[in-house]
Structure 1
Amino acid sequence: MGTTNPFKSQPLFFTKKLITWALYALLPLTLLHFYFYPLPLKQSLTDQIPENKPIIVSSQEQQVFYEAPCDYNDGKWVRDESGPLYNGTSCTTIKEGQNCISHGRPDIDYLYWRWEPKQCGLPRFDPTAFLRLLKNKHLAFIGDSMARNQLESLLCLLSTVSTPDLVYRNGDDNKFRRWYIPSHNTNVSIYWSPFLVKGIEKSNTGVNYNRLYLDSVDDRWASDMGQMDIIVFSIGHWFLHPAVYFENDSVLGCHYCPELNHTEIGFYDVFRKAFNTTLETVISSRRGTNSNAIDVIVTTFSPSHFEGEWDKAGACPKKEPFMEGEKELQPMDAEMRKIEIEVVEAAMKKGNQFPGLRFEALDVTILSWMRPDAHPGPYMHPFPFANGIPERVQNDCVHWCLPGPTDIWNAILLEVMKRWEVQSWKQG
């Protein structure tokens, strides 16, 4: 006859009721268990995160997301019809030379691209999240006009939720400025220092070469380092100019100085020396017992896109980004980037012994190289063709229109800061 299932012949609703009763019985037992044995939430979350998989915490909902390591420099530009967060009219801190729309640039397609990394997603810049991470802190951009370009992009992005107040200005062309954001007790500064080390810039009336002193940093930013929480270094293009280099009170050599009796040594090794001196100075500042924590970002070299003569129409004529593999990075740009990556990696190893000191390369060289369409070109000046096409017209194929690719630099900077916040949270 065999064994029979006592529930087989029962109606279906009886089986459903039995399951429901069982669930009701388990619920109070589960609650009692967690009452007496609560889970250590912070530990339970972080212990599940592999060391090579940082997490991102949403500033609004405090949700935890898992993400594999990402090379943000490996990707492609894709169309994005949502457009930028700001424009040349809504943001008042754009330098005139980068305000391409207000200066009459007729094509606006360059505004509708976003960077898509291969290994991960890159969220749209969240100004609220950035300000939360900057609360009660001082962020300083130090370097040349590319540092200023990135700074002004950031100010425009942040001004969409909280207006920065200019509280300090000094120097020719206001090369030293500071903004204060009352809503978050935040300071954002720019320090003009095109070599990071001590230097005397060439002039139109005097000698036509720069003088660099490679064994000491520029006091104009170094003297304020104790007040900085996050530093973004960005230099490069000034090293391409003629220069004489000094080290240990003697001439080391020069770059493009045929009228002088000095050894030509180029600029690559000098560029490396300047960065090594700079980052070693930051590390040394941490050796004091009362030194402040500092996060250091190095924005890698931003390529130019001149085609033909710089002072003729069409010097940077492209209207779309390069597609992946369309045109290789130029050797000089690649070497400058390589040097920066290497000096940051070396600084990371040295800095590991000092709590509160972090280094990161903001690797934007290749993604910037793929945007030949986003320079001001002749629109560095207002309406350059209002009276026809002149024989000579100055072009800017170095800096970037705002809005533009520098907004992506700051989106990546925000992701770095998110990751650092999570690392601090885990260590705490």
Structure 2
Amino acid sequence: MAPEGRRAPLRSPRADGLTVVLAIVLAAAGLLPGASGRRSLVSAAGGGCDLFRGQWVADESYPLYDASACPFVPDVFDCRRNGRPDDAYLKFRWSPAGCQLPRFDGADFLRRWRGKTIMFVGDSLSMNQWVSLACMLHAAAPAPARVTYAAGEPVSSVHFEDHNLLVVLYHTTFLVDVVQEDIGRVLKLDSMRNASAWLGAHLLVFNTWHWWTYRGASQVWDFVQDGNSTYRDMDRLTAFSKGLSTWARWVDANIDTSHTKVFFQGISPSHYMSKQQDKEVPAQGGSCLKQTQPLQDATDSPAAGGESVLPEQAVVRGVIGAMTAPVSLLDITALSQLRIDAHPSVYAGPGRDGCDCTHWCIAGLPDAWNHIMYAMLLQQG
């Protein structure tokens, strides 16, 4: 179980075909899409544009797709099917300050990434973004779409056959290893035994954070190993920094960035109530239960021009900033903090107790993450 009031990130369902999917992933090869047809962001002021500062604006043309027509959405993200009565949360578009995002063009995305492999590597927040992109592309694929879907553990994939585009999820909670040893389950901060499975992709989108914070029954390790030293526990932010630094060194040493683009999905915020001195106080905006509109008064949020940065955000920025490989930070934290309305809440499906204020409804907020990533890829060429 997750800590009281919180739900642990989901694990991918198991299915046959893991070996086949891994073989496809590892066999992928080729060059990144060329810069022909490159688009630019439209700047209202003629200056630079920070894609992560701005506001949510109502847009009746949204959502970008109908989740009920997307065959990849797991029950836990399918809020409307699970009985959520309101739909206003679907009809907001992210608008960066000072410029306009090019509208997401799924057909263009499919053309640019024809014959390529896109891989999301991380926990269930990576699953959230992976499902979102698969649905966005499925809606744009020519009908009848020839698509192969394989759900497994740790690998799930969607293959758009007409474009030979493989969109993969590799499920891992920490990026570094948890190994069963005689003393118990050991979180090894300097070990990445499975990382070879990520080689060969043309776009890698990494994520980790939430599982580093869990304690009690939700904690999936018994000891932490740092080099030759083993501990019962460690300051979680310190452990996160050490583990993420191991990932960074692996990327620097193993990823050919002339062949592969690398993104890191920033910290996805939760919206729960926390207890201090026997009183419930808002945590990152308060509980998501019965919320139907984005927050409008988060004046200290970086999305609104404030300077507040979470400690885990600072770790991510510091680690990426010290890397030699070019890694694009999908800095989604601030814009997502405003979307207290976009969680599954109590609409995470039958048999799931509690209120999920960690994950996100599909369709919904992760579509904006992918929209921004699309704009960044267009800018990079």
* TM-score range normalised by the length of the shorter chain: 0.7 to 0.9
Name the structure 1 match of 2:238: 269
- Cα contact 1:308–1:315 (8 A) shared by 2: no
Matched, 1:419 2:379: yes
**Following superposition of structure 1 onto structure 2, how do residues 230-269 of structure 1 map, counting pairs within 5 Å?**
230-242=203-215, 243=221, 244-252=223-231, 254=233, 265-269=234-238
- Cα contact 1:226–1:292 (8 A) shared by 2: no
- AA aligned to 2:330 is L
Cα deviation, residue 69, structure 1: 3.3
Of residues 183, 192, 199 in structure 1, which corresponds to 2:178?
199
Cα deviation, residue 190, structure 1: 0.4
- AA aligned to 1:275 is L
Name the structure 2 match of 1:371: 339
- Cα contact 1:155–1:164 (8 A) shared by 2: no
**Following superposition of structure 1 onto structure 2, how do residues 336-347 of structure 1 map, counting pairs within 5 Å?**
336-347=312-323
Cα deviation, residue 156, structure 1: 0.6
- Cα contact 2:205–2:262 (8 A) shared by 1: yes
Matched, 1:98 2:80: no
Of residues 291, 294, 301 in structure 1, which corresponds to 2:260?
294
1:328-378 superposed Cα distances (whole Å, 9 cap, x missing partner): 58x99711112112211211xx12xxxxxx311000000000000010111
Q: TM-score, normalising length from structure 1? A: 0.68
Cα deviation, residue 200, structure 1: 4.5
1:111-135 superposed Cα distances (whole Å, 9 cap, x missing partner): 1111111132122221112212212
**2:361 is paired with a residue of what secondary structure?**
coil
Q: 1:187 to 1:335 in 2, by over 3 A?
A: same
Name the structure 1 match of 2:365: 405
- Cα contact 1:141–1:151 (8 A) shared by 2: yes
Cα deviation, residue 196, structure 1: 0.2
Name the structure 1 match of 2:247: 278
Structure 2 gap ranges (5+): 1-34, 216-220, 281-286
What percentage of residue pairs aligned between the two structures are identical? Answer: 30
Partners of 2:163 and 2:121 in 1: how far apart?
Answer: 22
Matched, 1:154 2:123: no
Matched, 1:359 2:319: no
Instruction: Looking at secondary structure, tell me which structure has more helix per residue.
Output: 1
1:58-117 superposed Cα distances (whole Å, 9 cap, x missing partner): 95xx67677543221111111111111212211111111010111110111111111111
Name the structure 2 match of 1:86: 65
Partners of 2:106 and 2:61 in 1: how far apart?
Answer: 16
Name the structure 2 match of 1:334: 310
Cα deviation, residue 286, structure 1: 4.4
Of residues 120, 127, 148 in structure 2, which corresponds to 1:166?
148
Name the structure 1 match of 2:21: none
Partners of 1:178 and 1:294 in 2: how far apart?
Answer: 18
1:197-256 superposed Cα distances (whole Å, 9 cap, x missing partner): 01159xxxxx9x96310111141xx122332111000111101113531022421451xx
Partners of 1:125 and 1:268 in 2: how far apart?
Answer: 35
Partners of 2:90 and 2:341 in 1: how far apart?
Answer: 10
Structure 1 gap ranges (5+): 1-56, 202-206, 255-264, 352-357, 385-391, 422-428
Which aligned runs of 4 or more in structure 1 are off by greater than 6 angstroms? 62-66
Matched, 1:212 2:187: yes
Q: TM-score, normalising length from structure 2? A: 0.76
- AA aligned to 2:196 is S
Partners of 1:316 and 1:124 in 2: how far apart?
Answer: 31
CA RMSD of aligned residues (A): 3.1
Matched, 1:306 2:288: no
Partners of 1:113 and 1:182 in 2: how far apart?
Answer: 31
Aligned length: 321
Cα deviation, residue 146, structure 1: 0.1
**1:232 is paired with a residue of what secondary structure?**
strand
Q: 1:320 to 1:119 in 2, by over 3 A?
A: same
- Cα contact 2:119–2:198 (8 A) shared by 1: no
Partners of 2:370 and 2:354 in 1: how far apart?
Answer: 28
- Cα contact 1:133–1:417 (8 A) shared by 2: no
Q: 1:197 to 1:401 in 2, by over 3 A?
A: same
1:305-350 superposed Cα distances (whole Å, 9 cap, x missing partner): 123799xxx7633221111535658x99711112112211211xx1
**1:160 is paired with a residue of what secondary structure?**
helix
1:271-297 superposed Cα distances (whole Å, 9 cap, x missing partner): 11111111211221148xxx9722110
Partners of 2:301 and 2:64 in 1: how far apart?
Answer: 30
Partners of 2:261 and 2:97 in 1: how far apart?
Answer: 27
Partners of 2:159 and 2:55 in 1: how far apart?
Answer: 35
Cα deviation, residue 167, structure 1: 5.2
- Cα contact 2:148–2:161 (8 A) shared by 1: no
Larger radius of gyration between Structure 1 and Structure 2: 1
**2:79 is paired with a residue of what secondary structure?**
coil
1:362-403 superposed Cα distances (whole Å, 9 cap, x missing partner): 000000000000101110025x9xxxxxxx942111000011
Name the structure 1 match of 2:355: 395
Higher relative contact order (CA 8 A, sep 6+): 2
